[in-house]
Structure 1
Amino acid sequence: MTHEEIREQLEAIFESGIKHSEIDVHGDLVVHVQLDQFLMLMGYLKQNRDYDFDYLSHITGVDYLEQDRDPRYDVVYELYSMSKGHHIRVHVGLPEEEPTLPSVYHLWHGADFPERELYDLFGFIVMDHPNMKRLIMPEGWEGYPLLKDYPLTVEEVAFSHNREHKSELIKTAKDVKVDPWA
Structure 2
Amino acid sequence: MTSEEIIEKVKAGLADAIQDTGLPQGDAVIFVAPDSWHAVADFLKNDADLKFDYFSDVRGVDYLLEEREPRFESVYQLYSIDHQHSIRVRVGIDEDNPSVPTVSDLWKGALYPEQELFDMFGINVEGHPTMERLIMPKGWEGFPLRKDYPLTTETVTFSYNRDFKSDLVKSKPPTR
TM-score of the aligned structures, taking structure 2 as reference length: 0.90
Q: Based on CA coordinates, which of the two structures has the bigger radius of gyration? A: 1
Determine which structure has greater relative contact order: mean sequence separation of CA pairs < 8 Å that are 6+ residues apart, divided by chain length: 2
**Could you say which residue in structure 1 is the equivalent of 2:91?**
92
**Could you say which residue in structure 1 is the equivalent of 2:167?**
170
Unaligned stretches of 5+ residues in structure 2: none
Where do residues 145-160 of structure 1 align in structure 2 (5 Å cutoff)? 145-156=144-155
- Distance apart, 1:157 and its partner CA: 7.1
2:6 pairs with 1:6: yes
Give % identity. 46
- Distance apart, 1:158 and its partner CA: 10
- Distance apart, 1:150 and its partner CA: 0.3
Aligned-partner Cα distance in 1 for 2:104–2:120: 18
**Could you say which residue in structure 2 is the equivalent of 1:16?**
16
Number of aligned pairs?
173
- Distance apart, 1:67 and its partner CA: 1.1
2:127 pairs with 1:136: no
**Could you say which residue in structure 2 is the equivalent of 1:120?**
119
Structure 1 residue runs of 4+, over 6 Å off? none
2:62 pairs with 1:63: yes
- Distance apart, 1:138 and its partner CA: 0.2
Aligned-partner Cα distance in 2 for 1:66–1:11: 32
Aligned-partner Cα distance in 1 for 2:5–2:120: 36
TM-score of the aligned structures, taking structure 1 as reference length: 0.88
